[in-house]
Chain A
Amino acid sequence: MAVVDAQPLPGPEDPEAALAAVVALRRMAGRLESAAVVEAISQGWTWAQVGEALGISAQAAHKKFASEVRARRGR
Chain B
Amino acid sequence: MGLVNAVRDMRTIKQLLTRAEAEARSAGEQTPGPEHLLLAATALPEGTATRALQRIGVDPQQLRTAIEEAHERALAAVGIEVERGDAGEGALRSPAAGAFRSTPQAQQVFREAVALSKSTRPSVLKGAHVVAAATGLEHGTAARALVALGVDRSRLREAACAEAGIG
Binding site for B on A (CB under 8 A): 1-7, 9-10, 16-17, 19-21, 23-25, 27-28, 30-31, 34-35, 67-68, 70-72, 75
What is the chain B residue whose CB lies nearest that of A64? B30
Contact B139 A19 (CB under 8 A): yes
Tell whether, in the assembled complex, residue A21 and residue B95 are in contact, meaning their CB atoms are under 8 Å apart: no
Measured CB to CB, the residues of B under 8 A from A are 27-30, 70-75, 77-83, 90, 92-95, 97, 139-141, 144
A34: which of B28, B74, B79, B81 is its contact (CB, 8 Å)? B28
A25 and B77 within 8 A (CB) = no
Q: Are A71 and B77 in contact (CB under 8 A)?
A: no
| A30, B29: Cβ atoms closer than 8 Å | yes
Contact B94 A68 (CB under 8 A): yes
Residue numbers in A under 8 Å from B81 (CB-CB): 1-4
Question: A31 CA to B93 CA in the complex, in Å?
Answer: 11
A35: chain B residues within 8 A (beta carbon): 90
8 Å CB contact of A23 from B30, B74, B80: B74
* Cβ-defined contact, B80 with A1, below 8 A: yes
Minimum CB distance partner of B144 in chain A: A20
9 tightest A-B CB contacts, nearest first? A7-B79, A24-B74, A67-B94, A20-B74, A71-B93, A31-B28, A71-B94, A31-B90, A24-B71
Flag if A27 contacts B71 (CB, 8 Å): yes
Q: Is the CB of B77 within 8 A of A10?
A: yes
Subset of 21 A-B contacts with CB under 8 Å = A3-B80, A7-B78, A23-B71, A23-B74, A23-B140, A24-B70, A24-B71, A24-B72, A24-B74, A24-B75, A25-B74, A25-B80, A27-B71, A30-B29, A31-B28, A34-B28, A34-B92, A67-B94, A71-B94, A71-B95, A75-B93
